[in-house]
Structure 1
Amino acid sequence: MTPPQPQSPQAPEAAPKAAPKDGTRPRRDREGGPREGRAPEAGPAPSEVKDLKELREERKERSEDGGKRVVIEEPDNRVIVREGGRSIIRADEGERFRRLGGQQRREKRDGLDVTISARPGGVEIFTENDDRGRPLRRYRRDREGREVILFDNRDYYRRHRGGSFTDAIVDLPPPRVGIPRRSYVLDYEDASDEDVYDALSAPPVERLERTYSLEEVRRSPNLRARMRRIDLDVINFDFGAWGVAPNQYPALERIADAMNRVIDRNPNEMFLVEGHTDAVGSDEDNLSLSDRRAETVAIILTDEFGVPPENIATQGYGEHYLKINTQAAERQNRRVAVRRITPLISRGN
């Protein structure tokens, strides 16, 4: 989605079209919300990699399983995997938690790597990873010891020990969508506040046979397609970049408010922020760019508007799902989308 050179023939980025009346928004003071201090910068990722050229220089590539799998390691614990004619990117979402600040500690429990993030009011967020860095479970515990499970992948990884990442792709037919297209894929700029809330609280468009691991949701397009989507076309990404200029932040206020409303009603809600690119450039560059774009938007949603970071998952899809079917540089393909995935997610027993 982004070419190798940052110079772009595209027109300059448009100003955001949605903004609060006074042009500013105070940070929300809510449990699990933003940290104190300055807002996230528009450009750098958690590793402080500044641009695509620097990112390429820091990549390390290796082969596994007799050359059947190629693993490309990037700064900030991102890994691109090529296997069986497919490529995916995996990110350590703990990097997003660390960038947002707050107190964190890591422990070893029963062979698991457990990260505990402390929040105001005695709230703690626990993320359990296995020895391969794969997220097994995330849950929130309040001061009274009450727990809310956000996702539980343990059963999935028990069934797919050491398997290929392609095992996570669920073979489902496209859903039969019985609602208007404009409600199924929401144009954020033209939608009302209630339209946004409805899209983020609606049930699946088609009945599900079971629930799924977060890994399966991330990898399976026809599974994700069971849930409505909001395209955040008001956020514009420059060619070859993943930063969001601060003057675009106010455009995210309405979707953040809707997400917070949904979470206030049900604290175990999960949302997926999806990053995309246009078709220019290599597959590796585009996967990394799209993943970083999704992460940037997730950080802004938390740091500026108080959406709890544990209720957000992010995933980059590179150029795999073009909105405008063109191989040329196209701003509309450099985008981020959000959808609710709560009904899809397994929470164990």
Structure 2
Amino acid sequence: MSAGLFSMFLFSILVLLVVYFFFIRDSSYSVTVKSAPPGSDIFVDDGSWGLTRPDGSIELTPLKSGRRVIKIVHPTYECETREVDLKDGVNPAPLIARCKAMAVKPGETCESFSPGEFDKAERCYNKALDDLPDPFTDEALVRALNILIINFDSGKYDVPPQRLAALQKGATFIKKLQDREPNTVLEVGGHTDSVGNDSSNQALSDNRAKAVKDVLARYGVNPAGLQTRGYGETQPKFDNNTEQGKFLNRRIQYSIVKR
């Protein structure tokens, strides 16, 4: 190799090192967040980075060097704001979220819910589950599970990400019941209001029930202990002539079908 070519080679290596240390390295950090409530919004320095996965994790990349403020936002959980110092080209250890379910607010009643009070219903649901004795009965568990209101989008059956944390928690209690009483079978029933025609409501309620069962199974519930059924608009619990009644009739309802 001639002296000129060798010099060009060394110069190229030098350029690559400069680019790496001053440009690439400072913008290629990765932070993994774990154990956050599923469906949480993640913000880095107040910029949105998306939702956590169903297992409560998210990978934040690429991040620039320096101190970064990470916020975990969920409608029914309070999470500590965390800071990470990114430097020396080394990714930090996974960041374990520190979150706790919000308590029922002072003066808040869990006896009734108005249209749109999904988060209030979830706070009451969390409290009811936490207040279950040990051991609890299957009837007591079903009463607690039926407090949750899942705010499906109109005409859709995908479980909203913000409700995944509630179903994850419910799954832990259903698993306890299955471990203690393996022959028990719970029905996950889907119900709609009276808007739309009978056939579409029947299919919608059936698909919503199946979607909830799938989520519970993903969180470890034995699917053999769950069965689904769509009831459409055939079993209203409230008056479908009012918005309040329609809101409450759009529901997932658990029941015991076998012991």
Higher relative contact order (CA 8 A, sep 6+): 1
| Band the TM-score falls in, shorter-chain normalisation | 0.3 to 0.5
What TM-score, normalized to structure 2? Answer: 0.47
What TM-score, normalized to structure 1? Answer: 0.36
More helix by share: 2
